[in-house]
A and B are shown apart, each in its own frame.
Chain A
Amino acid sequence: MITDPTGVSSDTRERTADSCGADSSGAATGPQRPPATAPPRAAPQRRRRRAHTPLDPRPSIPLTLVTGLVLVYTLLPLVWLVVNATKDQEDLLDSFGLWFGKDFQLWDNISRTLTYDDGAFVRWTLNTLLYVAAGAGGATLLAVLGGYALAVYEFPGRRAVFAVVIGAVAVPGTALAVPTFLMFSGMGLANTPWAVIIPSLVSPFGLYLMWVFTAQAVPSELLEAARIDGAGELRIFFRIALPLLMPGTVTVLLFSMVATWNNYFLPLIMIKDPDWYPLTLGLNAWSAQARTAGGEPVFDLIITGSLLTIAPIVVVFLLLQRYWQSGLAAGSVKE
């Protein structure tokens, strides 16, 4: 494979271009050069590609195998989902799970998913978007504001706030769900979108992350300089601190978006009206249909619906990951 010229990837050619840039044109104008020199020239190329630097370490076979296994383990369910979203119900039950069935039904499945049950899926998608926009968006805003304030300003009780936040990080949301339900029920807010949005607004982990991140990413000298220049606190926050905090903000936004998008338990106990279901509950309700007298099993729609449900979150992840990656490296090198 290596000797096959088409097997050489384009970036390898680029990398080797300066040393043997005339190679391809030389081959074209062949006659002047002795053809015998060409093969030895190819050999050093290959050797150079195998040179290992700290940035391009020697591949380890066991490590590659383990990584490959993990990759398969992670991607297999996704592949299964994509493959099976292309089948109708009959095929789904009869054909091999990891390969396509008789017909390619994906587009038909998608249109049926969107229209089944008077378009309930669209309604649930809009609900989910509302919960994510209001809940995760609000949680990020509060975390950024709170984290910045706690990192920048000295005030009495800051240590107490720290203790409370760290304590709150340790309490799983599941444990708070039932008390939250009783509280919201008492306030008459159960079974309304508020019951999902308001608890999602609080993200102790996000607040803690923004606090730590602000301490690292926003030098106090910069703030002092801005104050001396006469900038107000709000202006400083929006014009100076916020751009610096972008990587951390995106990280918190991603975390809370994924958490809200996938949230199942909170809406499960809060929301009884299918009109306010998020996608997670809606798909489960469709799945439960198969288990009751008179209900209609719609396994094909559930699978297609699941695919449609994870697609936006995958897109968001891919779009935001560069911010997120730069955020991970923040503070690792003293500049």
Chain B
Amino acid sequence: MRTNSRHRIVAAVAVTCALTLGATACGSPDPGADSAAKDVAAALEAGGKVTVWAWEPTLKKVAADFEKKYPKVDIELVNAGTNNKQYTALQNAIAAGSGAPDVAQVEYYAVGQFAIGKSLEELSPYGASGHDQAFTTGPWSGVKYGKGIYALPMDSGPMALFYNKKVFDRHGIAVPTTWDEYVEAARALHKADPKLYITNDTGDAGATTSLIWQAGGRPYKVEGTEIGIDFGDTGTAQYTGTWQKLVDERLLAPVTSWSDEWYKGLSDGSIATLSIGAWMPANFVTGAPAASGDWRVAPLPQWTKGAKAGAENGGSSLAVPKASKNKALAYAFVEYATTGAGATARVSEGTFPATRADLESQAFLDTPFPYFGGQQANRILADAARDVGAGWSYLPYQVYANSVFNDTVGKAYVSSTTLAQGLEAWRATSAKYGTDQGFTVAP
């Protein structure tokens, strides 16, 4: 019932957007760039309270640092739930007209949905457009919607292959560099010990879209309210062709990511690799401490031998909701937390940076990871950040689309439906929803 009312709100807003789009870029008022930037300085001078809804743990340190630097400002950090829970709460607060925070953590895939819902403040007038060279490609394209900038990148998740060296060594299997080798390794591992799986997968929208991204597929085209969804390109076909083998031969552990079983699998080596975002090391340390020393990081396997293609997986940004009462001050905090000293402080707490400066810093690259047997893992991860393929965009209602992933593509994991058929069903469901919301969806 709540979902329904939420959808109706999005629908109403989307239609309004569609109607007004001709006149103005949806949701980007232009009060004069200079005055807004001056407002930010004045707001810092005047002080006040900024409520931040975020689940990212490193923000605690940033908030403390910021309050020390600007004693008149009071940062109230609230963990209002993780991912979807926080988005629902944010939608509710915005719909109710009160209780919305001044700053909200929004993942890249969800920025579009909030931007087109006119829920987020366009940040260029405050000075956000000046940071276009500060961030890496993937995250920067993640915070832009149309011509507007709706958030600043907080972290990034360029994909790499995390593998259990102990398991690979014990069975004498080479670390795969291409996805074909990956399938071979999966067969060899499972044959050597039926309890071993190359990885776990029960259908995960984020992982699937990221691998299609890496394979060169660009299923989503977004131009204003005109949307194209097409899973028929060669990149997607390459992904489904390879992954279907893993599904058919039952080489994937039927374990849902982030569950206790998953952490168990990472601990005891029965899940031997993860192709996942660069933010994963921190989770290894806290979630699978028993496997310390077993794991290593390698570049993500390639779809064509010798290529250097990458993709982003996850990652989130900080945005200023339109309902914020002190947007200039809120922006000041967002800017501090995502660039300069704030970003560096968060990197030292274990976040994977989205800022070029931090990615290139020698201290960052040289950091040894005791968990990975002393490996300087950031060198591989920083390369991965540079190799992220350009031109990817998510749907402006990706939050909804991901929520129906398991009803469509998820079937491929438990029935005779193929991944390709599942993706086609996902396309149809997403397209129908888009049309209902007032978008023009090209087949």
For A296, what are the chain B residues with a Cβ–Cβ distance below 8 Å?
A: 57, 286-287
Q: A272 with B78: in contact, given A182-B96, A190-B96, A294-B58 (CB under 8 Å)? A: yes
Complex contact A294–B99 (CB within 8 A): no
A332 beta carbon closer than 8 Å to chain B: no
Complex contact B82–A292 (CB within 8 A): yes
For A131, what are the chain B residues with a Cβ–Cβ distance below 8 Å?
A: none
Q: For residue B155, which residue of chain A has the nearest CB? A: A293
A288 beta carbon closer than 8 Å to chain B: yes
For B98, what are the chain A residues with a Cβ–Cβ distance below 8 Å?
A: 185-186, 188, 190
B277 beta carbon closer than 8 Å to chain A: yes
Complex contact A293–B314 (CB within 8 A): yes
Mask, A96-128, CB within 8 Å of B = 1, is 000000000000000000000000000000000
Complex contact B287–A297 (CB within 8 A): yes
Within 8 A of B (CB), among A276-306: 285, 288-297, 299
Chain B contact residue count (CB 8 A cutoff) = 44
B80 beta carbon closer than 8 Å to chain A: yes
Q: Which candidate, B28-36, B173-181, B262-270, is the interface stretch facing chain A?
A: B262-270
B392 beta carbon closer than 8 Å to chain A: no
Within 8 A of B (CB), among A285-335: 285, 288-297, 299
Q: How far is the CB of B410 from chain A (nearest CB, A)?
A: 18
Cα distance A285–B79 when bound, in Å?
Answer: 8
Q: Which candidate, B10-18, B85-93, B225-233, B363-371, is the interface stretch facing chain A?
A: B85-93
Q: For residue B2, which residue of chain A has the nearest CB? A: A178
Q: For residue B82, which residue of chain A has the nearest CB? A: A288
Residue among B55, B95, B282 having the largest count of chain A Cβ atoms under 10 Å: B55
Q: A293 with B282: in contact, given A90-B290, A186-B97 (CB under 8 Å)? A: yes
Within 8 A of A (CB), among B39-86: 53, 55-58, 78-83, 85
Mask, A50-88, CB within 8 Å of B = 1, is 000000000000000000000000000000000000000
Cα distance A182–B91 when bound, in Å?
Answer: 12
A291 partner, pick from B78, B258, B280, beta carbons under 8 A: B258
For B23, what are the chain A residues with a Cβ–Cβ distance below 8 Å?
A: none
For A186, what are the chain B residues with a Cβ–Cβ distance below 8 Å?
A: 96-98
Complex contact B97–A290 (CB within 8 A): no
Complex contact B351–A285 (CB within 8 A): no
For B93, what are the chain A residues with a Cβ–Cβ distance below 8 Å?
A: 185, 190, 272
Q: How far is the CB of A102 from chain B (nearest CB, A)?
A: 12
For B85, what are the chain A residues with a Cβ–Cβ distance below 8 Å?
A: 288
Q: How far is the CB of B363 from chain A (nearest CB, A)?
A: 20
Binding site for B on A (CB under 8 A): 90, 92-94, 175, 178, 181-182, 185-186, 188, 190-191, 269, 272-274, 285, 288-297, 299
Given contacts A188-B98, A293-B314, A296-B286, 20 further A-B contacts (CB under 8 A): A93-B260, A93-B264, A93-B268, A94-B264, A178-B2, A181-B92, A185-B97, A190-B99, A272-B99, A273-B78, A274-B78, A290-B287, A291-B82, A291-B83, A292-B55, A293-B279, A293-B315, A294-B283, A296-B287, A297-B260
Cβ-closest 3 pairs across A and B: A185-B96, A293-B279, A93-B264
18 residue pairs of the A-B complex, CB under 8 angstroms, read A93-B264, A175-B1, A185-B98, A269-B92, A288-B82, A291-B258, A292-B83, A293-B279, A293-B282, A293-B283, A294-B282, A295-B57, A296-B287, A297-B260, A297-B263, A297-B283, A297-B286, A299-B263
